């Protein structure tokens, strides 16, 4: 897995402080992760169940495996959230 450093000066340009950026990006990453789970489960539900052995355990289903690998290749939610924050795509406000 590749490690990409984030320039903290760029983060501070988008938010008032680094801790604020961490909270905002973490909450956005949770939303992205939830959306991905819903999408994955929706796609997975369209695939017919594969065969199972006598113990009831599923035997490898190639269609399911292909979809799983496609989702694994996607950019991780926390990296997408940080990128969105740095690009200025995330809007946030304080509760009053």
DSSP string covering 19-31: HHHHHHHHHHHHH
Number of domains in the chain: 1
- Domain assignment present for 93: no
pLDDT confidence of residue 55: 60
What Cα–Cα distance (Å) separates residue 79 from each residue in 1, 17, 45? 12, 19, 27
- Domain assignment present for 94: no
**What is the domain range of residue 16?**
8-47+59-87
Is the model's pLDDT at 10 over the cut of 60?
A: yes
Please compute the mean of the pLDDT values over residues 11-18 and round it to a whole number: 82
CA distance 75 to 1: 11
Task: Give the rounded percent of residues in the chain with a pLDDT score beyond 90.
Answer: 26
CA distance 46 to 43: 6
Please report where in the chains the tokens 């801790």 appear, as a residue.
19
Confidence tier at 6 by pLDDT (50, 70, 90): confident
Q: Which of 17, 89, 68 shows the shortest CA–CA distance to 32? A: 89
Q: Between 42 and 53, whose confidence is greater? A: 42
């Amino acid at each position: 897995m590749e490690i990409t450093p984030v320039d903290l000066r760029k983060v501070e340009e988008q938010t008032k402080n680094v801790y604020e950026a961490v909270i905002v990006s973490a909450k956005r990453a949770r939303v992205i992760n939830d959306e991905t789970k819903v999408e994955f489960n929706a796609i997975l539900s369209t695939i017919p169940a594969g065969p199972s052995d006598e113990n009831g355990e599923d035997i490898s289903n190639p269609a399911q495996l292909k979809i799983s690998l496609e989702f694994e290749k996607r950019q991780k939610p926390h990296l997408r959230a940080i990128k969105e924050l740095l690009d200025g795509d995330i809007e946030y406000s304080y509760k009053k």
